[in-house]
Amino acid sequence: MSHRPDGSPSAYRWYVLGVLVLVYMMHHLDRVVFSLLQEPIKDEFQLSDAQLALVSGTAFAIAFGVAGLPLGYLADRRRRVTLLSIIVSTWSGLTALASLATQFSHLLILRIIIGGAESGSTPTNLSLISDYFRDKRSTAIGIYMMGSQLGTLVGFAITGVVAVHYGWRAALLAAGIPGLFLVLLLLLTVREPLRQSAQKAGSFVAGLREIGGNAPLVHLIAATTIANVVAPGISMWLPSLLMRAGGQDIGWTGLAIAFTTAPIGILGTIMAGALTERIGATSPARMSRLMALMAFLYIPAILIAVSGGPWVMLAGFCAHLFCHMFVSTPGYAMCMNISAPHVRGSTTAILQVLSNLIGFGVGPMVGGVLSDILRPQFGDDSLRYALGIYVFLILWAVYHLLRAAAIFSRRANAPVQPAPA
């Protein structure tokens, strides 16, 4: 049996990647299911859009931010398979438990705990992938990122149908219970790999200082964070936009999103991962400039989406999602490539914490507040205008990507210093 530089059998490491993709799929499914179920939950508990944003995004994100860095720190120092199993069992069990909520505060508390648990998933997963795939890291991370789109595909298709026939509570049960079976698969079949670096991880503060001293890494973290702010802030409101302004029911909305945006997202992650493998390591400046272009294209895509009917909305959101995969996937892969092995978990945790604390926290709330402000004038079309305004935030990410490209170019063109005699 052939082995790779990490010492694992070739076939087995791809099996492990498949299991981690399933973990990320369940992670994303349990996160986004609330966005699909927002309208029936709103009707039952008589909530405003700001309250919806609080339970779907802000409360989740604050908990994510509080727990993310400590869990990323643990991913650099503890047995990752065990840590991941605890994390998955917590968020899956509580998602199922949310089906029993009898008032808004119950959902809010459960979403806070779920957010804290989910914050440790991707730092742990990417740390494992980095050690299993030292020679094909960008490709492996690109495949891993497909998990979010698979979560959308499976989650929106299945929970949408379940919600139509049995209600939103049954849909939460359908979203949460499968994750508990995934925990058994992790514990019984996934082995802990050897860590790549023999260097012992230092203190938490020392790790943050090391990350902060890496200028292109800081710009890539900033750009990826902002992109992950814009995308969730828009996508969380897509189901509500289709139902309100588009006039569609929850069943149509779930199936339409599942079978349009998810396949486009999967295609984008595969292409972005392969492209990053090809040019990201050898020409990071070129990759950063390409990411900047794709980020800029968010703007026309979303402006088109919010200007038309249901199918135009879906087409625009698909175009936006495809572009986003060429920012998010290379962003994570390049951050892993230029981070020291002993701080990769912390680097990913910083990315996840910032993306979720600001993205899922501030992003959806800004959209919800803007929608509430604009509702007296525009009615159900208020979401269109709110999202059209929000997308221009991506220009900030474009700036950071161009700064990273400039630093990479300057370093590549710097004269080589002769060795001392």
pLDDT in tens, 103-156: 888 888 998 899 888 888 888 898 899 888 877 777 888 888 888 878 878 877
280 contact partners, CB below 8 Å, separation of at least 6: 138, 287, 330, 333, 334, 337
360 confidence band (pLDDT: 50, 70, 90)? low
- Each domain of the chain, given as residue ranges in start order, spans 10-192+204-412
Three-state SS at 384: helix
Average pLDDT of the residues in 174-196: 89
Q: How far apart are CA 39 and CA 44, in angstroms?
A: 9
Averaged pLDDT score across all residues of the chain: 83
List strand residue ranges (DSSP E) for 132-289, in order: none
pLDDT at 2: 46
290 confidence band (pLDDT: 50, 70, 90)? very high
Residues in a beta bridge with 9: 3
Domain 10-192+204-412: CATH class, spelled out: mainly alpha
Average pLDDT of the residues in 242-254: 78
pLDDT at 278: 81
Q: Give the DSSP per-residue string, 289-310.
A: HHHHHHHHTHHHHHHHHTTS-H
Q: How far apart are CA 325 and CA 295, in angstroms?
A: 10
The yes-or-no verdict on residue 256 having pLDDT over 80 is yes
Percent of the chain with pLDDT over 90: 26
pLDDT at 414: 65
Lowest mean pLDDT among 213-222, 262-271, 412-421: 412-421
Q: How far is CA 98 from CA 105, 119, 174, 199, 309, in A?
A: 11, 19, 11, 43, 33
Residues in a beta bridge with 3: 9
The yes-or-no verdict on residue 200 having pLDDT over 60 is no
Phi, psi of 196, deg, nearest 5: -65, -40
Q: How far apart are CA 128 and CA 192, in angstroms?
A: 8
